[in-house]
Each structure stands twice: as C-alpha cells, then as structure tokens.
Amino acid sequence: MQTDRKLSAAGSARIAARLADAIHEHRLKPGMKLSEDEVGSIYGVSRTVVRAALQQLAHVHLVSLKRNRGAFVAQPGPREAREVFEARALLEPRLARYAAERATAEDVAMLKTHIEAEHAALADGDSSRALQLSGHFHIEIARIADHATIAEFVAQLVSRSSLIIALYWQRRAALCESHAHDALLRALADQDAPQAEALMKSHLLDLLSSLDLREQVAPPLSLAEALQT
C-alpha cells in the first residue's frame, strides 16, 4: 500500500512538472480548461493522479480549481499582474546583491551558458523558450544568493510571471533589445553588489512597464495539441 502511494505521488509530480512546462512555454494558455479525463488520456494515467497533479499546480497559482467547473490554467488579472512584478522588484534586487557577494567562477560560467541558450532561442524565433530560460536565470540568481526563504518566494513569483507575460506582454521585441541579463552577469562577475542590485531593480521595473495591463482573452488552443507538442 505504501509503495502504491509512493508511485502515485511520483506519477502526479511527473504530470505536474509536464503541465507546468507546457504553461511556462505558453503552449497551455491562461484560461484553458484542463479536463482530468483528457489529461489522463494524453499521459496514460488515472484521474486520481491527474487530480493530485492539478492540486499541486493550484498550490503554486498556476492552476485555478473552480467548484463544479473543473481546473483551468490560471488567468491573472491586471491587479495581480502588477502586484507580482512589484513584489519581484522588492525582493530580487536584494538577492542580486547577495548573489554578487557570493558568486563563484563556476556560478558565473553557468549563468553565461544560460544566457547563451536564451540568445540562441531568440535567434531561432522561439520566444516561449527564451522567456522560460529568462525566468530560470532569475531563479538561478536567487539560488546563488543562498537565501532560501526569499528564493522560495521568488521561484513562485517567477512561475506566475510566465502567465502574466502570456496575457499582457506588449513588447516581445524587448527581449531582443534588452541586455539586462548580460549587464547583471558582468556585475556578478565583478562582485559589484550595489550595481547588481540597481540593475535588477531597473530590469524588473522595465519588464513591468512592458505589460499592457488591460483585460485580455487568450486565444483558444486544444488541450491535446498543447500537450502533445
């Protein structure tokens, strides 16, 4: 019985991870219904496993569970969008300062490789992949900062930012035009903590200014098409 529970938990974690990836890559759009039967059929698992996976995603605000209606990809409103990025602008600059004080040569090399992958995705026209890598870049800085409590909050905020960008991003070319991550990398490599803090705050406020915070409706996409991509 205990073994069965462990297998079920592992299965739901796997499904949650795959759904989260689809959300972060913007294959699953905000507001899309996540049918337990259809998700289970696509991945070959039971409704119980799918239900547990959806509950995990609801805990981190990627999915909304609506009574008598089912599960939907979360669709943050303009106020929530603004609050998420304002919270990031409060927390992440301090983490960037800590990261600059602690970053090793190995950390800097890893971030450089990460940025190169981000640029490669942009060059390939894969903006969804580039945005996902961009979010992970921020999470890696939080890890380097070695402040577990704030880093946990930041990871959740970055995850929610993916949905917000899918709904409200109005300057998609801004990623190509901005070298904010390159500048942050230089500050970390130079162990320039004040500069890293200032650059991170400026970067996040610029991202907030790039959002068109009006109510929008994401275009529909079939669940099977999104998850089988």
Q: What angle do CA 70, 75, 78 make, to 5 degrees?
A: 150
User: What ranges in the chain are assigned the alpha helix state H?
Assistant: 2-24, 36-43, 47-59, 78-102, 105-123, 127-145, 148-168, 174-177, 180-189, 193-209, 223-227
Task: Indicate the DSSP class of residue 72.
Answer: E
Dist CA 41 CA 43 (whole Å)? 6
What is the rounded CA–CA span in Å between residue 199 and residue 192?
A: 11
- Dihedral sign for Cα 206, 106, 131, 61, please: negative
Q: Which residue has the tokens 């927390």?
A: 91
Full-model pTM: 0.75
Q: From first to last of its 229 residues, what are the pLDDT tens digits of the chain?
A: 444 455 567 889 999 999 988 888 778 888 899 999 999 999 999 999 999 999 999 998 899 999 889 999 998 989 999 999 999 999 999 999 999 999 999 999 999 999 999 889 888 888 778 888 888 999 999 999 999 999 999 998 998 888 888 778 765 544 544 588 999 999 999 999 999 999 999 999 888 888 887 765 555 566 776 776 5
Domains (ranges, CATH) in the chain? 2-75 (1.10.10.10), 78-209 (1.20.120.530)
The two tokens of residue 169 are 């991003």
Residue the block writes with tokens 């969008």: 81
